[in-house]
Amino acid sequence: MRLIGKRQSNKNPHFCSACELFASTYQGGAEIELTMLFVDVRGSTSLAEKMNPTEFSSLMNRFYEEAINVLVHYDAFIDKLVGDEVTALFFPGFAGQDHARNAMEAGKKLLDVMGYGQAGGAWVPIGVGIHTGVAWVGAISGANGDFKDFTALGDNVNIAARLASKAGAGEVLVSEDTCNAAQMDFKDLEKRELELKGKSEMVSVRVFKANNGSFVK
């Protein structure tokens, strides 16, 4: 790809940068169905209070690195690193038609690499939210057009974010929409009805915990 002028994507080095180059030139997008995953550190304020700034920075850098490695492996685009959170987008055109299942497998793996289910326990507490739905995907820019980025916007993105905020340490909350899109059997997983901030209706989720339940094909 380098021979024809393409470089690795900043969102996922498995792919080229064509989408980002397009976003830096044009503003616009389209509505598509995709799966969104949000993972964040639970209780990061308390953790920071118990550490000096350098120690906390090292912990967060390790969290970012481990999370990104997992998400890239499952063909996600890394959307943002914001504070104690990593957001990822699983596009059908890149993650394939099994984008919902890929996201769930990534959620399980995130628990593994953070130490859940291991003898020593988790080295950092995380919660994960996963949701599938239609979102506007494309290029956005600031008022003067100097800064541009490629991202997803809309109500379904907000739902994924709210699910992550509701997830307890060591939990992956998977919306029923994602379960249906993955066409998998979740009868052995706990079901919850959640009230999400800004939503008028309850949202149904399945809960995956390390050493408690499994995804059954």
Return the residue matching tokens 């974010």.
Answer: 161
Q: H or E stretch including 60? A: helix 53-73
Q: H or E stretch including 40? A: strand 28-41
pLDDT (0 to 100) of residue 146: 58
pLDDT-derived band at 217, boundaries 50, 70, 90: very low
Mean pLDDT of the residues in the chain: 85
Share of the chain above pLDDT 90, in %: 60
Whole-angstrom distance, CA of residue 27 vs CA of residue 146: 12
Q: Do residues 40 and 125 lie in contact, with contact meaning Cβ atoms separated by under 8 Å?
A: no
Cβ neighbours of residue 48 under 8 Å, at least 6 residues apart? 56
Predicted confidence (pLDDT) per residue in 1-25, tens digit: 667 666 666 665 566 566 655 555 5
Residue 120 backbone class (left: φ over 0; alpha: ψ -120 to 50; beta: rest): alpha
pLDDT (0 to 100) of residue 95: 81
pLDDT-derived band at 27, boundaries 50, 70, 90: low
pLDDT-derived band at 216, boundaries 50, 70, 90: very low
* Alpha helix positions (H), 115-212: 155-166, 176-182
**The CATH number fitting domain 29-140+148-209, selected from 2.130.10.10, 3.30.70.1230, 3.50.50.60, 3.30.465.10:** 3.30.70.1230
What are the domain boundaries of the chain?
A: 29-140+148-209
pLDDT of 58 strictly over 80:
yes
